[in-house]
Structure 1
Amino acid sequence: MGSLVTAYEITSKPNWKEHYDITIYQLGWRLGGKGASGRNQNVFNRIEEHGLHIWFGFYDHAFRLIRKCYEELSRPLFSPLAIWEEAFKPANFFVLEELVNGSYQSWPFHFPMNSQIPGDTTELPDSVTYPSMILEYLNEYYKNRKQYIFPENECAENQGGWKEILEWVEDGTEGMSLDVIEKAILVLKHLLNQLNKDFPQDRFLKYVDQFIDGLWAKTEKKIESNTEARRFWILVDFSLTNIKGMIRDKVFENGFESIDDFDYREWLKLHGASELTINSAIVQGIYGLVFAGRSQYTFAAGTALKGALRMLFTYKGAIAYRMQAGMGDVIFTPIYEILKNVELRLNFFIELGS
């Protein structure tokens, strides 16, 4: 992919031949490296490739490139994959498999569409705003499921160990019909916005820990019997541990790469995540995106965290897009057709020696 994109970008410049002499060498006949695919003509032209590939909605550079390619080719509208929107379809429903007592349970996630188009140039949010986005997601998740998380409504008035947190709730929330968890999340979001002003960081982190401890006290006995309560606990512990870690390790000031010396699971544990959370379907799902195994420490913490945040909070249109044919059909053929017409050399079945 890298060599093809490089060749495409170079040959898109005026007078490129005056500065470059380009030859692309390919071991076999299928371009694309790991993403190469072909058709088996003996089995009804079945697609054959290495495995399932999708593009996430925050892959702006990739979508910008492929949109340019389809526009440049200008295929007849009646032909297959004439436009990029036919080649990629939105995918907003995903299922994680949660291992519980030796058996797997499906954990579905639905992500809303938005009006943006992948590949359009927009300004990324300041990384310091990610914690507020995380808390807003937690609040929405809880509001949509609280009748299942606490079916007997036992949480509505029980403040547990959160009295100190809830003292910060403003009088204006009295008529908003918020239960104690919604109020606590509202407080944390309000205090988070005050961190850069006059609210002490240590005190905020103390309240975060109090919220986590209080929620565990409310859900501990439900972990095995109530699937929704267990999943909410994991989401809260996972989300708030990431917020704590970003603040304590000064990720906003030093960049996500400043914590890449740690494995992501190691970093979560360092900042207090429970074993239930560290081994959860959510964390394993993040590792699975880069084909990392359950017990392998193979994902740098900063890279994992930044990728997860970009994926969840900066996608355009859909959170992901599924190709409607093999990668060879959808991605590499359009690039090849353009390169073939600019008179560079494409040498197939070539192996370079030392």
Structure 2
Amino acid sequence: MNSKPKKKKVVILGGGIGAMTAAFELTNSEELRAKYDVTVYQLGWRLGGKGASGRKRVDGAERIEEHGLHILMGCYENAFHLLRQCYEELDRPHGTPLRTIKKAFKPQNQVVAEQYFKEEWHQWQFDFPEDKDWLGRVKYPGKRDKLPGFFTYIKRILQWLASAFADADHQLKELATGLAAIDQSHSWWHDLHQEIQDHMHAYLEELEDLAVDIERGTAAVEPSEKHNYIYRKLIELRDEKRKKLSSSIDLSLDLFRLWIGIDLSLTYLIGIFKYNLFFNTYDTINGFDFRVDA
């Protein structure tokens, strides 16, 4: 009698980077290979999905074909973990082109979007800060280091908001010279900026307390007083900003961009607290259009 346990059959549809990562993780040890029988179904012969490419020799040049330039955002932690292990196991000889993952992938911190403003198109350049290790070296994803927690991201956004309000206050102050139309908006904005600076410490303290309660497991699943306090303040802040500043945002492209960033950040934070994502999963909001809270 055969006592060998029957393997569980797993079918993966498509051969993109997510599919390849799933197949790799399900077969990455003798124990896993004994447990799972994995089959990948892919249309055609080329694996890789949007990350697939090949080279064709044309006039002595190895021209890349298919998708051309590929950009993987740094949040593809599992995919980069797969790539790291592949490069380590290959252990190509010195002098081989693209011998290591650091030779094959280069950090890209700049993104450019096109923006329509006052009947003209403008390039909006975003320069994202590099993620560095404790020695100041650029960190490559895929090492499975502990990623920043939910509260770290919220805290960073709140801190950015404080600086963004300061930038907008400075811009309005410059524009207000000789422009009576925005005197009232600037006065209100300056007062609001000062209030935010005065209360930001309190907001962050409440956030820290809420984070500690949740991490200790002492926070109630239902929103607490701290939770509701931050939620109310964020809504008040966004509503007042929209009401008072909307008539001035077309005076300057930089001011308009700051307005977009502040509004988007506040809407993001409001959604986290509204749907209590500290306890609920992302599936709770998966069916919503992002504009539902805009």
Shorter-chain TM-score above 0.5: yes
In the alignment, structure 1 residue 248 sits paired with structure 2 residue 274: yes
User: Which position in structure 1 is the counterpart of 2:90?
Assistant: 73
Give the one of 46, 49, 67 matched to 1:30. Answer: 46
Residue pair 1:191, 1:199 contacting (<8 A) in 2 also: no
Give the whole-Å Cα distance in 1 for the aligned partners of 2:231 and 2:30.
55
Give the one of 197, 204, 225 matched to 1:189. Answer: 204
Residue pair 1:219, 1:229 contacting (<8 A) in 2 also: no
Give the one of 65, 71, 84 matched to 1:54. Answer: 71
User: Which position in structure 2 is the counterpart of 1:100?
Assistant: 117
User: Which position in structure 1 is the counterpart of 2:260?
Assistant: 234
**SS of the residue 1:124 aligns to:** coil
Give the whole-Å Cα distance in 1 for the aligned partners of 2:21 and 2:230.
46
RMSD of the TM alignment (CA)? Answer: 3.7
Give the whole-Å Cα distance in 1 for the aligned partners of 2:31 and 2:242.
65
Deviation at 1:92, TM superposition (A): 0.9
Counterpart amino acid of residue 39 in structure 1: R
Moved more, 100-109 or 203-212: 203-212
Residue pair 1:224, 1:230 contacting (<8 A) in 2 also: yes
**1:293-342 deviation digits (Å, cap 9, x = unpaired):** xxxxxxxxxxxxxxxxxxxxxxxxxxxxxxxxxxxxxxxxxxxxxxxxxx
Moved more, 40-49 or 240-249: 40-49
Equivalences for 1:105-120 in 2 at 5 Å? 105-116=122-133, 117=139, 118-120=141-143
Counterpart amino acid of residue 137 in structure 1: W
User: Which position in structure 2 is the counterpart of 1:39?
Assistant: 55
User: Which position in structure 1 is the counterpart of 2:150?
Assistant: 127
Residue pair 1:34, 1:50 contacting (<8 A) in 2 also: yes
Give the whole-Å Cα distance in 2 for the aligned partners of 1:145 and 1:162.
12
Give the whole-Å Cα distance in 2 for the aligned partners of 1:20 and 1:253.
32
**SS of the residue 2:251 aligns to:** coil
Give the one of 240, 262, 274 matched to 2:288. Answer: 262
Give the whole-Å Cα distance in 2 for the aligned partners of 1:201 and 1:24.
45
**SS of the residue 1:243 aligns to:** helix
User: Which position in structure 2 is the counterpart of 1:172?
Assistant: none
**SS of the residue 1:254 aligns to:** coil
Residue 38 to residue 254, structure 1, CA distance change in 2 (3 Å):
same
Equivalences for 1:143-158 in 2 at 5 Å? 143=166, 147-148=170-171, 150-151=173-174, 158=187
User: Which position in structure 2 is the counterpart of 1:345?
Assistant: none
Which runs of 5 or more residues in structure 2 are unaligned? Answer: 1-15, 134-138, 177-182, 214-218
Residue pair 1:162, 1:210 contacting (<8 A) in 2 also: no
User: Which position in structure 2 is the counterpart of 1:91?
Assistant: 108
Give the whole-Å Cα distance in 2 for the aligned partners of 1:11 and 1:201.
43
Q: TM-score, normalised by structure 1?
A: 0.59
Give the whole-Å Cα distance in 2 for the aligned partners of 1:160 and 1:17.
62
User: Which position in structure 2 is the counterpart of 1:225?
Assistant: 251
Give the whole-Å Cα distance in 1 for the aligned partners of 2:124 and 2:107.
20
Residue 51 to residue 141, structure 1, CA distance change in 2 (3 Å):
farther
Moved more, 121-130 or 9-18: 9-18
**1:211-247 deviation digits (Å, cap 9, x = unpaired):** 2344345533331121122111111111111211221
Deviation at 1:208, TM superposition (A): 2.5
User: What is the identity percentage for the equivalent residue pairs of Structure 1 and Structure 2?
Assistant: 34
In the alignment, structure 1 residue 139 sits paired with structure 2 residue 171: no
Q: TM-score, normalised by structure 2?
A: 0.69
Moved more, 233-242 or 26-35: 26-35
Which runs of 5 or more residues in structure 1 are unaligned? Answer: 164-177, 274-354
